[in-house]
Structure formats: structure tokens, C-alpha cells
Chain A
Amino acid sequence: MVFTHSAGREISIRRRNTLEAYGLGEESAFCTNVHLSASQFTLVHCHNWSTSAQSSTFVKVKMATITPLTAPNADSVSKDKEAATAALESLLAIRFFEEAVDGLFARGMMHGTMHLSIGQEAVATGVCAALRKSDFITSTHRGHSHCIAKGADLTRMMAELLAKQTGYCRGRGGSMHIADVETGNLGANGIVAGGIPIAAGAALSQKLQGKDSVVVSFFGDGATNEGAFHEALNLAAVWDLPVVFVCENNKYGMSFSTAKSMKVEKISDRAAAYGMPGVTVDGNDVDAVYAVAQEAVDRARSGGGPTLIECLTYRHKGHSKSDKNLYRTKEEIEFWKTKDPVGIFETKLVDQGVLTQAEVDQVTDKIRGEIRNAIQEASAAPDSDPAELLSSVFRQAN
């Protein structure tokens, strides 16, 4: 059997390890390795069972995509229909993605652990609406929201969590380590505060290269008690780096409340120690987050140096999969659910007449469909391949 390049022709990988392509019988090819390129074309190395012939073919995989976030042509996201719709898609994609993986985990279909940002979606959405595609982010162990809001492909994310070869990390990273070069996501991070100095360095890099890109570092309240936070903020301040430090203060570092972990009232107060502006904002309000983020991003881009933004928010789910919620009350959780950022934004859009309820429902259906598609596509992809482990530790020299 002859394998031909079929660039641009859509195929689907219907069953595990089985490639059904145009011109290939369902069981005729065994998918041994899949390289996802920066584009949507995928290089699939095939081994033909009947003839033992090996070949490679380019195929186009369906990518689950949501509309990229965009800055509004107005002073707030909710006043611009295009920007508001994209923001709603982002909020819902984060919510549904995480509800889906929570469900898959509960059913024993997902491995490892994960940290859900349900309840915190407005932070990533509001901040990334103020960013360009060429801007960078560093993210955290609770990083799905940042990854999605910066524009990552949901199928590749899902594939990573499902331990597939087509995942962002080829199955080597999982939930805590997704990076996406194409959208400037320098990586989620399993080490609390690990990404903050890296963000400062990426910002130094932009400055040294004379580029006008900005770097946003997302981190939680717990990270602000790590030395890395303080060292990175100081470096960014003394070098006037184009970086915005975004703290998602969800009140708890795992189980330890901010009331016990710090003496200052607000995390944003810590900015004063480094000579940079600090601001606290309602992290469940997309418009409020966008407004402070836009100001900070503009300042960074124009050479005005870094800003520390504290977004007050709350995670509805536990810290990770082992959390029994022994450190907080049901009442507190229920209270914060009444401040659900997704519901608040939907209501605002309908009340302001930016979107009709029917349009909100339409967006909801679209995103649900994208998540379903992501799960289907990812589930059908080949499992990650142990054969390439040893050759992947170092990048080969050119």
C-alpha cells in the first residue's frame, strides 16, 4: 500500500491506535508516533500491518477552538459584543473543560491529579483579553484557565490529560505542566512560585531584544510567601521589566488561609516593598479584571515597568483530588457560588442587552460541543509512546 501526503484532508483517528485515513483501510495502519506541528497539520508515522511498510503522512486533525479573546472597542469587555462573546466563550470553555475532566477523573478515566479553577475563570479571561497573541504568560499548577484563555487548543489539552501522544506534552507533563509555544504560554508549573522568576526573565528577554511584548505571570496567594515571588518582583522592579504579576487570591494556599499566612491585609500591599504599583480587584468580575490588567499591560508595554495585581476570587472545588474541605465551611463555599463569575457575566450581558439569552444559549451549546469534540478526538488518539523517552531529555543540537 502506498502512503501519500494528504495535507489538508481531514481525517479522524477513530479508534485507539487505528488510523482511518482516505485510502487506508480501518485496520491497515498502525499509528506509531504523532507529531503535532505548530499548525493544525499532524505528521503521523504509519506502519502498515500487511506489508510492514513504514511511511509518514500529513493529516489534518480537527482542532477544538474557541474564539480568541480580544480587547474591546469600549472601556469594558461587556460593552463590546465581539469581545464579550469571546470572553463568554473563554469563561464557559474553562468551566466546561474542568467539569468534564472532573467527571472523567471521578469515573476513573483520567489519571494522576489536577487542580481545578472553577470559580476563578474571570481572572484568566479578563487578563488575557488585555494581551496580544505575541505576549507571554507563565502559569501555575491550577493552570487550565490561563492556558485556555491564552488560546490553547482544547483537544491537545484534553489529550495531555488523557495521557495521549497528541497532548501538548506528549503525555510527559499532564495537567500541571501544559505549555503552548504558539500562544506564548511558557508553561504551567508544579512548583509554587516557580514561574514568577521565569516571567521576569522572559520580560528581560523582550527588553534586551527590543520587542514590545509583555509577560504576565499568574500565581496564587500561597506563592506570595515564597522567596521566588519576592526575588522576581524585585528584579522586575529594579530593571523596569515589561511584566504584570497577577495574583489569584482564592483565600487558601491548599488549606492554609491568607488570614493566617500573612500579616498584611492585602497582597497588593506587598508591591510597595518593590516600588511598583499594586492594586486589588474583584477577581470574579471580567470587566474589573480587564480594566486593571489593561492599564498594567499598557504601562509595561510602554516601558513603565511592572505591576502587581491581586484578584480576589474563590475556587469552588477543593485544592486537588485529595481535598475534603475540612478547612472551610459549606456556608463560605455556598456564599462564593452566589458570586459565580460565569453567571455574573452572562447576566450582565443579557441585562445590558449586549447578548440575548438565545445568543448566550447558543454560545453555551457551541462550547459544550467543542468540549465533547475535544474529549472524543483526544480519546481516540494514540497513547503516549515510551519509545521516545530517553531521546527526549535533551534537545538535539542543530
Chain B
Amino acid sequence: MSERIITYAEAVREAIGQAMEADPSVFMLGEDIGVYGGAFGVSGDLIHRFGEDRVRDTPISELGIVGAAVGAALTGMKPIVEIQFSDFTAQAMDQIVNQAAKIHFMLGGELAVPMVLRAPLGSGTGAAAQHSQSLEAWFAHVPGLKVVMPSSPYEAKGLLLAALDDPNPVIVLEHKLLYKTSGHVPEEAYRSEIGKSKVLREGNDLTVVATGVMVSRTLEAASQLSTEGIELTVIDPRSLTPLDMDPINASVAQTGRLMLVQEAPKHVGFMAEIAACVSEGPAIYSLTEPVKRLAGLDVPIPYAPQLEKSVVPQLDDIVSAAREVMRGV
């Protein structure tokens, strides 16, 4: 049987549609998600299938939208909020950080906020500094939020359906460069487990952990490097919170080398947490080379294409960095 190939955006839309069909409490709210179809075309025709009550266009009002989702989630609904660009979550941070993340714990456990917040992150579209950030570490640093970063069409659907099953607030950070990429996505409603890292390729020389768009870039680099005789293990954590370190530690114990790839600025980035976790356990004794972090420069994302590309790791950067680790540079 041939594999069905659809885009990342279609996979997200399919997950939303299947969740809405299965559960009348699921609804979506966000800016321009109705007849416009979403800024990145994710919601598409959902308004025609489910109506404007359940595919709810909102005023430009991120704090209000997320607050409304929190209130709806507290009282029996399962909202999916779409924030047009993840940068705009800054407008809604009180409701995400002080309300959604804390209500279950702070109020004693009887209330919960089963809310999904989807937002595209990342650079590569020439939209400059206020539309291109990778802010995953902000959310991962707040107890009470689960954070997932789907790196492929398959994970876009599987992680979103898992997020919708979760009784807690889940931040789903989709990469905007991935929306138009295609891959195998089963038609049935399946779940990717939140809190399980996924080993995407196994090799004996170097363990590489990557997130978001860096996962596919790293897999491409791994194919190139394989022709040179360098074999990579590539691991996608998929969920930043909760974080599953087991396959990473196990792989490091085997390869003795660790490279970490993220688009976000290096300073206090999520990959620092992975490095710290490895260094806290026995896997550190297996390391034969220092840990290599390949990350975005610590600058705002610039506009000009040559500037923008130079700020975040590209395919060649990953290949070169891996060679350096192997050479012990």
C-alpha cells in the first residue's frame, strides 16, 4: 500500500478536523482563521465544515483570545487557540504564564486548563525580528505548560491529537518553513506520545539532538555525512516539557559525542538544558569530545535574506560542525 503524502499544514488541519468530529467540545479560535483560512493556510476550509461558532474568527486581541480559551477550558470546552505568529504570544503572556500554566496547581488541583495553543515559530520568511523568533525556551521554563515542537507532517498531526487528549495546557510550536513540506501521514487519528523522544536515525559516531526545522536539516546532513563514513544518531525530543532524556543518554553512552542543534539563540536556549541533563548523569563519562551546541546567533532575526540565513544554522553549518566534532576540533 502506498503511503499517503500530505503537507504539514494539511496534517495539522486534518488533526483539528478529526478532533472536532470526535469531540463536540473542541473548537478553534484565532485571528483570520475563518474564511481567510489562517495566515499560513492551516485552518483552510474548516469554517465551511464546522461553522463559525467552532472555527471562531476573533478580533486582533491575543490576550483576550487566550484568556477566553482559558475560561472556556475551565468550564468544559477544549479550545485550540491559533496565534498567528508565536512572537505575538508576548501579547498574551499573562494568560499563558500566570493563568493557564498555574491554575491547576495553584488552585489546589480541582480545576484544569485543557487548552491547546498553536503558534508558528521560526525564521526564513524575511519577516524580520518581530515575526521570526523561536521562543520555545520561554514556555519550557514555566512549570505547568507542556511544550511540543512537531518536526514533520507526521508529528504535526500526531502531537496535535495527543495535545488535544491532554488535560493540561499544551503549547504546540509549529515551524512556518515546514507548513508546505510533505511527508507520510496516516489517515486515521493516531497520537505521538508527549514526553517520548524519538530516534530518527541510528549511527555509531555522533549523537545529534535537534528540534523543529533543524530536525529535517540534521537528517539531510546525516545523509551527506554518511557518504563520508560519519554515522549520526539523530534524536528529536518532540516534547520539550515533559522531556525524555533516556534515548539521548543511551545514545551518548554509545557514541561518546554529542551535538545539539537549535534555531533559537544559543544563550540560555533549550539545548543548554539537554547538555546540562547529560552532564548530570553517567552519560557524561562516555563523552570523548566536548558537547557542541550549534544554535542561532544571539541577535534579533534580521530582514535581508543573506543576513537572516547567516543567523541560524543551515545545512552546511550542521555538516561542518559535525565534521569538527569528529575531528576533535
Contact = CB atoms under 8 A, between A and B. Distances in A.
A104 B105 CA distance: 26
Interface in A168-197: 168-170, 172-173, 177-179, 181, 186-187, 189-191, 194, 196-197
A203 interface: yes
Interface in B105-144: 105-112, 143-144
Contacts of B59: 231, 234-235, 238
Query: A178, A205, A206: which has the most chain B beta carbons within 10 Å?
Result: A205
A235 B166 contact: no
A167 interface: yes
A187 B107 contact: yes
A394 B68 CA distance: 21
A394 B104 contact: yes
B167 interface: yes
B76 A197 contact: no
A197 B74 contact: no
Nearest to B168: A394
B108 A170 contact: yes
Interface string A365-398: 0000000000000000000000000001111111
B71 A169 contact: no
A19 interface: no
B68 A197 contact: yes
A393 B106 CA distance: 9
Given A198-B71, A201-B72, A208-B53, A231 B61 contact: yes
Interface residues of A, number: 47
A86 interface: no
B64 interface: yes
A394 B165 CA distance: 13
A244 interface: no
A237 to B, nearest CB: 10
Contacts of B288: none
Contacts of A203: 71
B17 interface: no
A236 to B, nearest CB: 9
B71 A397 contact: no
A365 B263 CA distance: 66
A321 B222 CA distance: 61
A324 B131 CA distance: 46
For A138, A167, A204, A238, the residue with the greatest tally of chain B CB atoms inside 10 Å of its CB is A204
Nearest to A174: B106
B27 interface: yes
Contacts of A138: 71
B66 interface: yes
Interface of A: 136, 138, 160, 167-170, 172-173, 177-179, 181, 186-187, 189-191, 194, 196-206, 208-209, 215, 227-228, 231-232, 234-235, 238, 392-398
24 contacts: A169-B106, A172-B105, A178-B107, A187-B107, A197-B66, A198-B99, A200-B64, A201-B74, A202-B75, A204-B72, A204-B77, A208-B54, A209-B25, A228-B63, A232-B67, A234-B61, A235-B59, A235-B65, A235-B68, A392-B105, A395-B112, A396-B167, A397-B166, A398-B167
Given A173-B107, A190-B98, A198-B74, 12 more contacts: A167-B108, A187-B103, A196-B67, A205-B72, A206-B75, A208-B77, A228-B67, A231-B67, A392-B105, A392-B109, A395-B109, A396-B167
